[in-house]
Amino acid sequence: MIHVWMRAESRPNEARAGLTPEGAQALLERGFHVTIEESPARAIPIEGYREAGCEIAPAHSWPSAPRDAIILGLKELPDDGSPLIHRHIMFGHAYKGQPAGQVLLKRFLEGGGTLYDLEYLTDEAGRRVAAFGYWAGFAGAAVSLMAWAAQQRGATCPPVRSYPGKDALLAELADTLDAASTSRPDALIIGALGRVGTGTADLCAAMNVPTTRWDMAETAHGGPFPEVLAHALFFNCILARPGTPVFVPESAREAPRKLTVIGDIACDPESDFSPVKVYDRATTWQEPVLRVHDRPPLDVMAIDNLPSMLPLESSLDFAAQLLPSLLALDAIDEGIWARAKAEFERHATPLKGDQP
């Protein structure tokens, strides 16, 4: 019997879920065993899972789950260095040379577990089967506009929070922008045709922000891209990978520019492939931007769990995309899951020589 165990997220400000009660019921009907950890932070209440017939476990009890359980989560695990014996489905952020990712892979090697990275669950054509991209773009554009509004007041962006739904976010943001200025800034979106770019563009349209929308055709020449500096806001919506051109070089800090806010929604500053070179770490809900230059100001927004600002909508969307793949876990050595395991082995195997 396949045992899916959804853990409570340990990261602060993380309220999303990769499985809904309806999805859990579909797994149960397929004959799976489903365990859901309690979590006061999760946007979807535990009662729905209990009513569906799931086993309920205490929060953060997954380390003692049966060894054959498949642990489903979203964001990072507690950084306690413990060996990982289970198969985990999660965002590992470990395949682009990130230092924390290398530590994570070594923990899997030490414990004999396997990472099935959600970012690398792909179909036969190499397309991701489930992503939070749209809501990352939507929320990331909102926070970036909050940062721009704060600049108009001579301040930096205040802490951000989660919202019960997008209408509440839009209403608050419109009031904030109207109070800051009688006009709207312009924005350049790179990756505008993808999920992240679409969410970014939709938020900008809702706030009457004029946008220039670029995708692969406009960036194929590899740069430089002076147009980035000619807009008040720049949104990077392209996943960093080998060959990604640099959109914002380190020299942009002191270059003549209209640009004052960068929304690095793809947010992979520790990767060698990052196309935004003016900063080196992710930002947080408490400190949403990193000011990398003072006069004129240049703020970088790089929160890496943006969809949790709209946790219910983003969870329902993502879980619906992921469910068909979860239903195929009874064939975990085939198809999408076999490809994800091969990706793990490709990146983890070179680290075996570092093991004691």
Task: Look at residue 97 in the predicted model and tell me its pLDDT.
Answer: 83
Distance CA 342, CA 122 (A): 12
Task: Look at residue 355 in the predicted model and tell me its pLDDT.
Answer: 61
Q: Is 133-309 in CATH node 3.40.50.720?
A: yes
Active site residues: 75, 93
What distances in angstroms separate CA 325 from CA 9, 53, 129, 334, 340, one per listed residue?
Answer: 21, 21, 8, 11, 12
* Positive/negative CA dihedral, 113, 119, 120, 124: positive
Task: Look at residue 86 in the predicted model and tell me its pLDDT.
Answer: 98
Note the pTM of the prediction, 2 decimals.
Answer: 0.91
Q: Tell me, which fold does domain 3-120+311-354 have in CATH? A: Rossmann fold (3.40.50)
Task: Look at residue 70 in the predicted model and tell me its pLDDT.
Answer: 98
Task: Look at residue 59 in the predicted model and tell me its pLDDT.
Answer: 98
Instruction: List per-block mean pLDDT (blocks of 10 residues) for the chain, which spans 356 residues.
Output: 97 96 98 97 97 98 98 95 97 90 96 97 95 97 98 98 97 98 98 97 98 96 97 94 93 97 94 93 97 97 96 98 98 97 96 73
Using one digit for the tens of pLDDT, what is the confidence trace for 94-144?
998 888 999 999 999 999 999 999 999 999 999 999 999 999 999 999 999
Distance CA 112, CA 87 (A): 9
Kindly report the number of other CB atoms within 10 A of residue 319's CB atom: 21
Using one digit for the tens of pLDDT, what is the confidence trace for 237-260?
998 888 899 999 999 999 999 999
Instruction: Give domain limits for the chain.
Output: 3-120+311-354, 133-309
| Intrachain domains 3-120+311-354 and 133-309 with the same fold | yes
